[in-house]
Structure 1
Amino acid sequence: MREIVFDTETTGVEPDKGDRIVEIGAIELVNHLPTGRHFHEYIDPERPMPAEAFAVHGLGDDFLRGKPKFAQIAARWIEFIGSDTKLIAHNARFDFGFINAEFRRIGQPLLDDRRMIDTLAMARSKFPGAGNSLDALCRRFGIDNSNRDLHGALIDTHLLAEVYLELIGGRQPDLILAPQPQKSEQRTIAAPVAAVPAGPRPAPLAPRLTESESAAHAEFVAKLGESAIWRRWMPG
């Protein structure tokens, strides 16, 4: 089972009014374990960085000048996320909204909401009324986020992957580490059948019930009377 955990940093919160993505970070999970494959890009938003957004992630105009534009990294991003892989994000509608706004600009099909797994919604359902920001969830689950001075897409993605695994019940590698055959490799293998020796059946073992145990059983069955269901098919 392949999943992609991802995060975006942006120039603001309104993609429909011209805010753009400035960073994407994503990591691949297979059977809920990181594979080591990741995607990370800083992106030229083709517009000035507002001070409010700069205070969140620290990505300014000088740093982003000369970085690739979204259209230049889109093909690699689309290849990395695949066509039907589940996409996990914290407040996923925000990130889906920005990705889809960028896709509209370059004429790409939009992400299907059915691919979305929102860890914020999961956390709110599991811990109603509690703080469910990424930092709050890291504290709740004992995840070290000491390197998170500012928001950064790649570091947030690694933290979110750990939070996601806790939200679904924690890692259970003993259940998923055993390699599973691909569908094309699956075979139906008949269990070996022991050979039946020719000739008469061997004499049965002698009964191990004592006389007192047999008498107690007979007395118990007699008390059942006609309610003993096997009496309908066996002589008394």
Structure 2
Amino acid sequence: MSEQFPVPAYLSGVTFVAFDTETTGLFAATNNIVEVGAVRFRLGQDNAETFQELVNPGRRIPADAIRVHGITDEMVALAEPAGPVLERFISFCRPESVLISHHAPFDISFIGCELNRAGLSFGDNPILDTIDIYRRLFPGLYSYSLLSLVTHFGISKSQEHRALSDAVFVRSLFERAAALFPSAGDLASLLAGFTAHRMNEWSGEKVDLPDTYSDLKLALDTKQCLEIIYESPVRGSETRRIWPERIYAQGQSIYVTAFCEKASAERTFRLDRIVDFKLLRADREP
């Protein structure tokens, strides 16, 4: 049973979904989700419904990421890819819910990129960030990390760093903070008092490439292979053969998602790091 706090009357009928993701790395455009967890609840009620699914990222999970969340390649081997999992997550959230995350831009960026890759879209649910809420309500704390907050407020002394357990922490933090929300008002005024995000903040935009990328556009349209020289910030210059699948803009950058023969899996490449490319014969499908 969760600790009970006063609930503003105008929030008593609102459905909230606290959610979290675990990933292969820190940058959404070139990494993937490995787990999604969520808790659907109403303030002042003990009952809640949960969502937790592993996701097969289609790539090896780096050792640094495994050290954080403990999710291994073996654990996700039989899991579905992000598309079907996110379809079920969208259904779980429901259109009328207010979503809550800790460090929301991080989770939104990963879910948004995975939605782009799968050709899916999310609803217009507002998304609140418990970091933003706690910085406004409890200024001057030493740290606003999830572990620091749950430790400071006596919720837990440790963090498993799995998606569902972190989502449960987010729920607990939100319930505690809600006791300090204005007692009079409505949901719209409450949302206006915080930074309310939307999932479409990270929806990729279709782009029209200039003529200098005509071979890249041809490879995409006709399902042909490109040989590229890619400047990786980690591995330096390397030659790869890729089968482009989609091109989209995210912020100020343009990305190419493609099947990479070297990785034998889908990968995302930043266009400005492709320093050279040539079209190859379409002698086989990836």
Which category of TM-score, normalised to the shorter sequence, fits these structures?
Answer: 0.5 to 0.7
Distance in structure 1 (CA, Å) of the matches to 2:67 and 2:147: 17
Measure how far apart 1:126 and its partner are. 2.2
Point out the structure with the larger helix share.
1
CA distance in 2, matches of 1:14, 1:45: 14
Residues 32 and 100 of structure 1: is their aligned pair in 2 closer, same or farther, counting only changes over 3 Å?
farther
* Contact kept? 1:90, 1:160, Cα under 8 Å: yes
Q: What residue identity is the alignment partner of 2:26?
A: V
Could you say which residue in structure 2 is the equivalent of 1:223? none
Of residues 72, 94, 97 in structure 2, which corresponds to 1:60?
72
Contact 1:86 1:116 in 2 (8 A): yes
Q: How does 1:40-189 map to 2 (within 5 A)?
A: 40-110=52-122, 112=124, 115-130=126-141, 131-146=143-158, 149-169=159-179
- Offset of 1:105 from its aligned partner? 1.1
Q: Which residue of the partner structure matches residue 222 of structure 1?
A: none
Structure 1 SS opposite 2:53: strand
Q: CA deviation at 1:107?
A: 1.3
Q: Residues 81 and 102 of structure 1: is their aligned pair in 2 closer, same or farther, counting only changes over 3 Å?
A: same
Q: Which of 20, 27, 30 is matched with 1:14 structurally? A: 27
Q: Report if aligned partners of 2:38, 2:164 keep a CA contact under 8 Å in 1.
A: yes
- Secondary structure of the residue aligned to 1:104 is helix
Contact 2:15–2:96 (CA under 8 A) maintained in structure 1 = no
> Which residue type is aligned with residue 3 of structure 1?
F
Q: Report deviation, 1:91.
A: 0.4
Kindly state the Cα deviation for residue 145 of structure 1 after the two structures are TM-superposed: 4.1
Contact 1:27 1:37 in 2 (8 A): yes
**C-alpha displacement of 1:135:** 1.3
Match of residue 191 from structure 1: none
Instruction: Flag as ranges the 4+ runs of structure 1 deviating above 4 A.
Output: none
Segment drifting more, 65-74 vs 43-52: 65-74
1:15 partner amino acid: A
Q: What value does the CA root-mean-square deviation take over the aligned residues? A: 2.0
| Secondary structure of the corresponding residue to residue 4 of structure 1 | strand
Contact 2:36 2:53 in 1 (8 A): yes
Gaps of 5+ in 2: 1-13, 182-286
Equivalent residues, number: 167
Larger radius of gyration: 1
Give the Cα–Cα distance (whole angstroms) in 2 for the partners of residues 91 and 35 of structure 1. 25
Give, as a single letter, the amino acid of the residue that structure 2 aligns with 1:155: S
CA distance in 1, matches of 2:46, 2:82: 26
CA contact (8 A) 2:56 2:80 kept: yes
CA shift for structure 1 position 32: 4.9
5+ long unaligned stretches in structure 1: 172-236
Structure 1: distance between partners of 2:135 and 2:38 = 23
Aligned to 1:205: none
